[in-house]
Chains A and B, each alone.
Chain A
Amino acid sequence: MDGTLHAFLDRSMRRFPDRVAIDEPHGTTITYRGLGDLADRVRDRLRHIGVEPGDRVGVYMHKSIDSVASIFGILKCGAAYVPVDPEAPPARCAFTLNDCSVTAILTESRLETALRDELAQLGAAPRILVAPPTSDAADRSKGTALAAMLDAEDAIDRAPTAETVYPSPDDLGYILYTSGSTGKPKGVMLSHRAGTSYVDWCSSVFSPTEADVFSSHAPFHFDLSILDIYLPIKHGARLVLLGESLGKEPLALAQVIAEKRISMWYSVPSILSLLAQYGKLDRHDFGALRVVNFAGEVFPVPQFHKVRAAWPHPRYVNLFGPTETNVCTYYEVPAEVPADRTQSFPIGRSCTNVVCRVVSPDGTTVAPGEEGELVVTGAGVMQGYWNLPAINAQVFLVDDDGTRWYRTGDLVVEDPADGYLFHGRRDRMVKRRGYRIELGEIEAGLATHADVREVAVVAVADPSSGTRIKAFLSVHNGERRSIVQLKQFSATHLPRYMIPDEFGFVDELPRTSTDKIDYQALKAQV
């Protein structure tokens, strides 16, 4: 059983049955015993409706005790979980769930109707288990909404107790969907070992204990959630779930961090920047904070200075890596950073659960100091993309001995003192508020607008927001369209973090001599 993600919960359930495992925004908590029992009930129900080891099961819910229990219940079936963004357009969610052929989906009543409609259009008919509205389950002394659903199902047809399945560590544990350049998200398949080896590495670097209090800022379909969920649960610590919107409310977030005595923080830098700028941090005591991890995008150093001025005492660690490797390198920011430094922090050295090297386009290792692409192998690396064999054949560099190296697309230089320095991307992927975005996916979304003839999207660095995205459109009959309407259209066809900041109108997109869209010329106009 060791080597699986759910074994972490087994261990803490035995060692710390009465300690609080999860703390929800509105004050509801659940102990390790309670979480384990609830996950067992999910396992029993899923097995009863036909979920088999090796299946995929969707989790289409907001972050909550229920969604954590659902994840563990799915894992206990020997199945892989597929977390889906409850804030994304339902059509996109249905696509992802249908793409990996989920057998069942756990969801909430407020998301159910739109999901069923979209799945029906795709001809998909997985079993859907629906937790009742939160207001109906407001009396939490009776249990969570998920427990209420399980009670109701049991009243009709009792699910017998099923055995927990412990698959091989190399079996699929979860699939995280990321932006795809063709307009369709790609499913990154990660094994139990990929998750556990990363969590074990985190243990060695951050030395958590049951006394720690972790804050979960990222949604569960985001790879930051692997540390957020499994590291505290492995150590019997308390995980405080923060609502998806709290990261945008610095005043309220500051209050929660102080009141909950958060000791381990992990978020995208933009949340930290907003907190330092708007959170009025001098009003609270943040003495419990001991580690601040950040990942997902470049942290503008002037913004970092503001954060550290407010919180001088914790360790600050830059965790770097794509979803395909979770985190592959890390850099601990030194205690002293010159006040006039503006150069970005390094991405640092390899984590011990992976091996990194830097290669030229033909795959040969380059000398230290030369720019090349970062490639990664080892326990933390994905199995591949779900059902995309052609792309899988391209993204791995395979040695003569069969070792597979994932090509990250990140251009780096190895520095003897600081490890790897990030130099940019070799493709059109950008990071915005921690989300990775293939600009081609935005283009594909906007191209479905009836008035749009051609579209090109570019991203430029922005000192305050990190990344600014502008869409250039040429439209039928050449008349300029309403930006308000284009934003509204984007909001219904793209995740919110992909909505362009600006729209520009051109008669025709500029072309290079080889008739490709001239993105450099467009960038010069931003």
Chain B
Amino acid sequence: MAAIKQTFFQECEEQLAELEAGLTSMDGGAADSETVNAVFRAVHSIKGSAGIFALDKLVKFAHVFETTLDAVRSGRLNATPEVIKVLLQASDTLSDVVRAARGEAPADEEKTQKVVAALTHLISPGATQTAAASAAKAEPAAAPAAPPAEKIWVISFRPHAELYANANEALPLLRELARLGRTEVSLDDSTLPALTELDPEGAYLAWTVTLHAACDEAAIRDVFEFVEDECVLEISAPATAEVGDGFELGEGFEFEIYAPGGEGIDFEIYAPGTEDAAPAVEAAHVEQAAAGPVEAMAAKAEAGAPVSATIRVDLDRVDRLINLVGELVINEGMLSQRVLEAGITRASGVAMALEELEHLTREIQDSVMAIRAQPVRSVFMRMPRLVREVADQTGKQVRLLTEGEGTEVDKTVIERIADPLTHMIRNAIDHGLESPEGRTAAGKPLEGTVKLSAAHRSGRIVLEVSDDGGGINRSRVKQKAIDNGLIAADAQLTDNEIDNLIFLPGFSTAQTISNISGRGVGMDVVRQSVQALGGRISITSIPGAGSTFSLSLPLTLAVLDGMVVRVGRHTLIVPLGTVIETLKPKAENVHALDSQLRVLSLRGGYIPLIDVAEVLGYSEAPIDMAKAVALLVEGEGGRRVVLLVDAIDGQRQVVIKSLEANYRAVPGIAAATVMGDGRVALILDIDTIVSVTRTEAGRLTDGETTETSSKNEMTYV
């Protein structure tokens, strides 16, 4: 049961996403019937499944929501911007209620009630201001909700064979109708054939029910909720209806069938003739019942319900496949190398076959990776809600534009971009956009725009959050950085460098700490989490015209872009995301602070030098500065150091292999990988290398020197 429930919640997430997408496009003006239907269906399926699990609160809320959506669908309620705003709120609340049902954060009861009230308000007769344009249409909708007044409904119901095949029966439905009020049921058996021609799986009967009840048509339709697609159902308006001609009801609705196939109709009561005939019919019926489910499926397929061409697969299985393919790639690389070593020419058959194999292997690798790839849509979907909330809190009007939702990225990355994006968007609205007054003064439209986009760029995914706000106030940022001792008072910084100061730890430009961005989480934390993913974040800003945050991330966390370096006879990988630049240090720019610590003067700042061989204990002798190559890298918290290595062998993508699986964590080493020659190469953990050196420097020297060195580390170029 727990597993089924798990699936239910997964589906809820999908339906909620669907709902949000539909409402958002309605907000954008696409109120066509298809969109409205999709929105309705999403809420309806949540309600239907929630009923199975007896999640009463969820069912109740979904029902109210559905009722309002139905009014929109049937045209009784116009999808005005005000209405859509309420619907969007309802969609947020629905996702809260789902979450609560899941046992996560409890839903805000008060808020839920408020939304329920707003939803009912939209379709209730008490609504004075809403849907002004559709006052005439709203009236009939109001009628059913009017105070109890007995009406006479005429319901004609003719089941199709599918209804029985799907284990539904007419009798319970009629019984259910009788519960609503007094019923007069008449049976129409005019199409019933002679027993010899009777198809035991057929449907020949129809009923006409006259219902005296004070209910609305929705209540009647609810009775037939799960069979509406499998019968001819006509509900005619009450004879006593106040509204002149009433409105057309009972059009065919597409509903999914939740009950599995199986039982058919009780034939014995209709079987005419002798007593002996009945068992025969029953026997035939039982025999045919086995075929039920198959036919039910066929019927469902015929009904045109779109059959989803996806399957759910356990992630472990996919991961295993990815590992195996990784091994295949390495093996293939080793084989090619061996073939070359054996002196076989490229033109030979072996080499050519090998090349074929190589293509195939790459293709398999790409395809397997694609299994885990998901569009960023799932994350983007959450953002409209965030924007609405932050906009409400700040009293700003914000329009969110999204672009490139279909851009695919590995599942591991998807899961981890939501937080940074949330911060960036919060920041864009809270700090980026001006207040409504400010915007008016600047001659901009009152409504600010925040644009969220995703795109693939040179093997990485680039996410951008841009606003059309005031841009970064550079003089204030610089002053603040000087005040906080982050930069020297006389530091010469380019505009871009000033903009990027906001990523420094402990930097917050908000003059008053607001409860939106100032939750103790600054952009430095965002940058840190991005860097932990092997990503990069930067900002560009045009005064008066807005800022753009760009976030570049690897497409997968299973593979890393690395710079291959040589240290002595060792091959090491430096994550490319941490490398800012490579340089050839000049001896005159290297200064010794003490016997241990050397710094490199670079464009007016001093950056600590780290001899990689020494730090890793590969060699005792210090590296020959004349031959060394330097990598300027940036670690945790934006701390920069220069790594000294013997040579750079180029860049390549490496598959990340755990050291912990068979050994244990090694300080200074993030993971390992297997190179084309089959040997293991270690991937440097820049963060610990930066911090290890810091503590060593701190331990080796006390007092003044420590102060000096820490000051140097704080100096940014």
A and B co-occur in one complex: no
